[in-house]
Copies of this chain bind each other. A is one copy, B any other.
């Protein structure tokens, strides 16, 4: 299998390299006859341009990097799947790069990534999308990036998020309307901006309905199943026990459900449990979890799509969007 390069094509077609390059890139100023001829040779020799050479000449790699550090596997796969969809639409590829937010090496680590892969852009998922330090660094490197599910203010970069506050508000209201007054809340990871947003949605709903906020009903989680299990213990040990628990994501809610069931509590008869995200686990367990569907794939898809726009035309207006979250009721919540 001999290698077919732009040179061989040019020679075979009897034109210059440059003309072949023009045809390749659909540039104007090629006569129809010549274009036709070259295209035929492409077919005949089964020519595929070398992306690396092209990358060198144009200083582009057609690769987008995805940064993440998230305890939820399903969140990651959803992010990836949205990102891939957008990438493939525009013939980009996706390189994944998990790393840790904490630790002084973050900047170094990302810098390493940038120099070793020459990415054309970066998608930041929480908690990176909320890291001011990282964002400041990226600005100095002038590499385009897009933030997913970030609540921090930065008008100069692409951002797509969903309305966490609104979602949490609706879910809390749902519980209140079912007659619950003692609603425990499990917070997410403090590094994620969604954590505060969801918490404030919860508080606002209580406020609106004239229910006193009680701080002893709030447990500190970090989105991991394990932290949910710890919080579950705290909450179920309370006396009197709250009649409902709202966990900031489905994994933690699943942990509450597990402990409740272990303790012979009936869900939702004895206690209602709700989560957030609509992760697969929410419907894989019994009873199914009432939760808030967050359009993770869609957020990421849009973010990456816009990122690619920005890469191909830096003058594109910076896209900032907030998508709606939606209440999904299942069997884990019921009237008091």
**A-to-B contact residues, CB < 8 Å:** 1, 48, 50-53, 55-56, 59, 61-63, 73-74, 76-77, 80-81, 84, 91, 93-98, 113, 115-118, 140, 225, 251, 254-255, 257-258, 261-262, 280-281, 284-286
Contact = CB atoms under 8 A, between A and B. Distances in A.
A270 to B, nearest CB: 15
A254 B81 contact: no
Given A93-B95, A261-B286, A280-B225, A52 B56 contact: yes
Contact of A98 (B50, B81, B118): B81
A284 B73 CA distance: 13
Contacts of A84: 96, 98
A60 to B, nearest CB: 9
A205 to B, nearest CB: 28
Contact of A77 (B1, B62, B76, B257): B76
Contact of A62 (B56, B116, B261): B116
A84 B73 CA distance: 15
A14 to B, nearest CB: 25
Contact of A284 (B53, B55, B251, B262): B251
B281 A284 contact: yes
B95 A51 contact: no
A267 to B, nearest CB: 11
